[in-house]
Amino acid sequence: MNEDPKVNLSGLPRDCIDAGARENLSAAVPSQGSVAESEPELAVNPWDIVLCSSGTLICCENAVVVLIIFHSPSLRAPMFLLIGSLALADLLAGLGLIINFVFAYLLQSEVTKLVTIGLIVASFSASVCSLLAITVDRYLSLYYALTYHSERTITFTYVMLIMLWGTSICLGLLPVLGWNCLRDEATCSVVRPLTKNNAAILSISFLFMFALMLQLYIQICKIVMRHAHQIALQHHFLATSHYVTTRKGISTLALILGTFAACWMPFTLYSLIADYTYPSIYTYATLLPATYNSIINPVIYAFRNQEIQKALCLICCGCIPSTLSQRARSPSDV
């Protein structure tokens, strides 16, 4: 296993096909045969192209969300501030993937490697923390429905934003401030130059936040079921209507949690058990789905929102479709 390709110093795995900048290249090149008889090397790793393409799509999607929220004065409620935070974090994550690709092939230096991995770690950390903050906000909006729109909620939202971005920036600064494996390759994780300890802390933190989100969404599901039942009794709805509404709410929550876990769990668990000696293709195969979460987030949290849909229609065509203006919000819209 020690002969497998090492991990790229830029923070993302690179195959041995582009390892010309590493001093251990001789270990990956067969000693038999002349240079002329060796197989031609690829100029660019296809995996890096896929990651860069994902970063471009992430930037385009989330830039639209950020512009909509910034352009629309009506979207200043706590929920939209948190959605904007999520979109900004994912936008920076996509930008980090693009910058990593450019620096890895055009401008290789220790400074650019550390700055790039710091940006990627900080932005993805802010993305996950923003998802947790949105979950907390949704729980509070249902549990404290009567007092949710008070000044206290707005203050609490700003405190959450300051804390999550402050924590994420600190995590991103760790490699830059010296907690990296550039001087000691034996301490490298699957994502170089992050150390094994650094990757373990990030993975354990993710598992903790996922467990907290799961617990909050279970409580949200209970509240939604109770609200749907009360509305059904007040309006004398049939039991089937109550069942349909409740099932829709549970399906929405399952979609949110299932997507989040499917995207991030493989890379999280792999980072805990693997190190730099493992084949880089495994790192690519688990890291790529994690980037897809930033592609899916705008669809789940922004473009499904009725108010954002209205703002988008106003920006694009200057009008609001009647189907949007007449649609009411139900207990299942969580």
Q: What is the mean pLDDT of residues 247-274?
A: 86
The pLDDT assigned to 232 comes to 65
Question: pLDDT tens-digit profile of 202-248?
Answer: 999 999 999 999 999 989 888 877 776 676 666 655 555 545 555 66
Please tell me the distance from the alpha carbon of residue 89 to that of residue 126, in angstroms, as a whole number: 6
Residue pair 194/121 in contact by the 8 Å Cβ criterion = yes
CB 316 within 8 A of CB 229: no
pTM: 0.81
Q: 8 falls in which pLDDT band (50, 70, 90)? A: low
